[in-house]
Structure 1
Amino acid sequence: MDERTWVQRLAAVATLDDPVRRALYEYVTSSSEPVGRDEAAEALDLKRSTAAFHLDRLVTERLLAVEYRRLSGRSGPGAGRPAKLYRRPDSEVAVSVPERRYDLAGELLAAATEQSASSGQPVHDVLGEMAYNAGREIGATAGSLAAALDNYGFQPRPDDCDGWRLGNCPFHQLARQHTQLICGLNLQLLRGVAEGTGDDRYTMVLDPGPDRCCVHAARNPDNETSEADTTSYPRQPSTQTTGKGGIA
């Protein structure tokens, strides 16, 4: 999963707007073997320095990967330096407008199904725990609750009680079609995020409404953690929702 922000991923994809860079990307990714600078330059009738510049920019944006290999097949003294070769990366860059995180939901659902099959635990229970743990990692990496919510596309907006309404659901289409399952995943994920950041000023609760995420970051009274949350956020709470109509 690409941990970069939406802006960073968008910038990466935007580099392909340059026609030379896009042509190099298409040439490399359509090749069955890694491609060297000389080959790419000759194939597209470019100067070697021009090809090298654009290829390295694609690597910087994680749109291509690099490996080094001696093309002569020789090794040892006198074999020369390994050539820098470019290939399709194992990762991918995905951007949607508005921001969606279906890759995260897919990873959690697949992992939960696999573990459920091997352990015999209900998928729903496993999914809740996995989502919570994934949220803790996200929160610890982000450093603050606001940063984590923003980085993952939740678009936090202040409410009237010093809490946050989340203006965007990164799992929008899934939540509309599988409301109870996905909103439960989302709730556990965000409870884990809050735990991971160490921010105990908010309690994540289900509060679906039109044009927003189903989870609300409600401010705890007097900035204190409620009694129910003193031993960290529960991992398998009730996740009943009021129906599909209010899910953003």
Structure 2
Amino acid sequence: MSEELTADVAGVAALGEPVRRELYCYVVAQGEPVSRESAAGGTGVAHHVAKFHLDKLVAAGLLEVEYRRPPGRGGPGAGRPSKLYRRAAREIAVSLPERRYDLAGRVMAEALTLVDRDGIPVGDALHAAARETGRRVGRDGPVDEAGGRDAVSGVLARHGYEPRTVDDQIVLTNCPFHRLAADYTGLVCSMNRDLVDGVIDAICPGALSARLDPGPDRCCVIVREP
């Protein structure tokens, strides 16, 4: 399970507690930052209970905090600013097995931008966009001193591919784009291969190669030496 998915699962799990979930829904529904007192009054819980659960929601990344004085109150003697809670900007999505349709959407949006801007064929644009996205994914990952195969596997694992080493190749046991690949197999599988090749380009160019090798219950791409 990738670190991002682990964090998302923890965030969703934080809403499993009924009082916490009610406080979260109250804060979100207000449309502006709210105080602990307002949240407590709006949900009918004690102030100390509201504080406990609101801070748990902050720790889970679901709410954010800001400090503000009431309008018209400032300068010496105005007291400390009020602690206000608002919905966090962070997006949370959980799917099991892990899916990354956001990544596919980004590739396709960049491809359409290339088509519109440069007038190149859609297939060429998708190839270029997927490859460049893969390079960014590879560059943005944590530095792995081992490099090579292990580093590529680590990056792919963080993006939902569930890589496993089988003999001399890396088999990707999960497809992050499963539903898209089922409906648009040729298009999405080629995009997927180019994306994985981009990851390889960023980490160990020339040492490994992504190839299409469809098999049951796994990604259509495998990684092996050229």
TM-score (structure 2 length as normaliser): 0.86
How many aligned residue pairs are there?
217
Structure 2 residue runs of 5 or longer lacking an equivalent are 144-150
SS of structure 1 residue aligned to 2:214:
coil
Do residues 203 (structure 1) and 202 (structure 2) align? no
- Measure how far apart 1:52 and its partner are: 2.2
- Write the deviation string for residues 142-178 of structure 1: whole angstroms up to 9, x where unpaired: 4321211211111112223x21111110000001111
- Sort the Cα spacing of 1:37 and 1:207 in 2 relative to 1 into closer, same or farther, 3 A: same
Question: CA separation in 2, counterparts of 1:66 and 1:123?
Answer: 44
- Write the deviation string for residues 202-233 of structure 1: whole angstroms up to 9, x where unpaired: 21111111111011011x2xxxxx4xxxxxxx
What letter matches 1:136 in structure 2? R
Alignment of 1:97-116 (within 5 A): 97-116=96-115
Do residues 155 (structure 1) and 162 (structure 2) align? yes
2:148 aligns with: none
SS of structure 2 residue aligned to 1:169:
coil
The structure in which a higher percent of residues are helix is: 2
- Measure how far apart 1:36 and its partner are: 1.4
Question: Residue 179 of structure 1 is aligned with which of 166, 176, 185?
Answer: 185
- Sort the Cα spacing of 1:157 and 1:20 in 2 relative to 1 into closer, same or farther, 3 A: same
2:26 aligns with: 27
Structure 1 residue runs of 5 or longer lacking an equivalent are 221-225, 227-248
- Sort the Cα spacing of 1:199 and 1:145 in 2 relative to 1 into closer, same or farther, 3 A: farther
1:235 aligns with: none
TM-score (structure 1 length as normaliser): 0.79
- Measure how far apart 1:4 and its partner are: 4.5
SS of structure 2 residue aligned to 1:5:
helix
Q: CA RMSD in A?
A: 2.1
Q: Is the 8 A contact 1:69 1:83 kept in 2?
A: yes
- Sort the Cα spacing of 1:138 and 1:53 in 2 relative to 1 into closer, same or farther, 3 A: farther
Q: Is the 8 A contact 1:163 1:202 kept in 2?
A: no
1:72 aligns with: 71
What letter matches 1:192 in structure 2? G
Comparing 163-172 with 50-59, which one deviates more in the overlay? Answer: 50-59
| Overall identity of the aligned pairs, in % | 47
- Measure how far apart 1:11 and its partner are: 1.6
2:147 aligns with: none
- Sort the Cα spacing of 1:194 and 1:53 in 2 relative to 1 into closer, same or farther, 3 A: farther
Comparing 93-102 with 186-195, which one deviates more in the overlay? Answer: 186-195
